[in-house]
Amino acid sequence: MGDTKIVIPGDIIDTHTEDSDQTILRLGPGLTQTNDDTRATTAGVLHSAKDNTQYWVVSNKRRYVPAESEPVLGVIVARHGEGYRVDIGSAHDALLPLLAFEGATKRNKPNLALGTLVYARVAVANSLMDPEIECFNSKTGKAEGYGEMTEGFMFKCSLGLARRLIDSRAPVLGALGAGVPFEVAVGLNGRVWINTASPATTVLVANAIKNSEFLNAKQCRQMVKELLEKQ
């Protein structure tokens, strides 16, 4: 993760680099392009990727604003002729086409029931139409972990915590992984899915993740250690 700083709406963000003419710049939530300037549209902490090709603002918004390529956890709430409508916690339900799955064809399409939990990536996100998601990586044609989540437990957390958990170096996930086996999928829409060997372990992992929001790395490790000792 690159440098961070506080921004407010209207701030101009310096996204220029030495090879900016050859670099494809990706703007995430909280930023917009106005002529040649990149401006903040919300107050929060500005984040940038190490290679300065991606920028986004993390704030304490309660409602998720979809951004292209972001992973999300959604619940199917309706089906129509061309696909499904999925609740991803945004202002509008997302569209999930029937063919937006690995290996899906007109003759071989998934048949998902209402209430099914899916892990997906945002394919289309703009203010003029409903967001669209896909349960595979359209660039590679592979599922890469996306799709129907048939087991496990899903819970909600803040959008800020979700963005910290998506980092493979998240202290709480590292501490938990050293003590108990579990699977995890993080949606940047503030939803986390976990799968463990027992209900007791599921409760422990969920509580540890929720408790980690305002703790530093050392405090996370100590908190997880105490929870494991009580198990």
pLDDT digits (tens, 9 = 90+) for 14-69: 877 655 555 667 787 788 887 778 888 888 888 777 677 778 787 766 789 898 88
Structural domains in the chain (count): 3
Position 60 scores a pLDDT of 66
Give Cβ neighbours of residue 17 (< 8 Å, ≥ 6 apart).
23, 52
pLDDT digits (tens, 9 = 90+) for 190-199: 999 999 999 9
Position 1 scores a pLDDT of 43
Position 40 scores a pLDDT of 86
Alpha-helical segments (H) within the chain: 159-165, 171-177, 199-211, 217-230
Residue 63 lies in a domain: no
Q: In the predicted model, is pLDDT for residue 71 greater than 50?
A: yes
pLDDT digits (tens, 9 = 90+) for 76-113: 999 988 899 999 999 999 999 999 999 888 888 889 99
Whether residue 222 sits in one domain with residue 158: yes
Domain CATH for 224 = 3.30.1370.10
Domain CATH for 95 = 2.40.50.140
Residue 66 lies in a domain: no
Residue 65 lies in a domain: no
pLDDT digits (tens, 9 = 90+) for 120-157: 999 999 878 899 999 998 888 899 999 999 899 999 99
Position 9 scores a pLDDT of 87
Whether residue 157 sits in one domain with residue 129: no
Q: In the predicted model, is pLDDT for residue 181 greater than 50?
A: yes
Domain CATH for 34 = 2.40.50.100
Q: At what angle do helices 199-211 and 217-230 cross, to 10 degrees?
A: 150
Whether residue 45 sits in one domain with residue 100: no
Spatial CA neighbour of 71 closest among 14, 146, 150: 146
**In terms of residue numbers, what domain contains 119?**
71-148
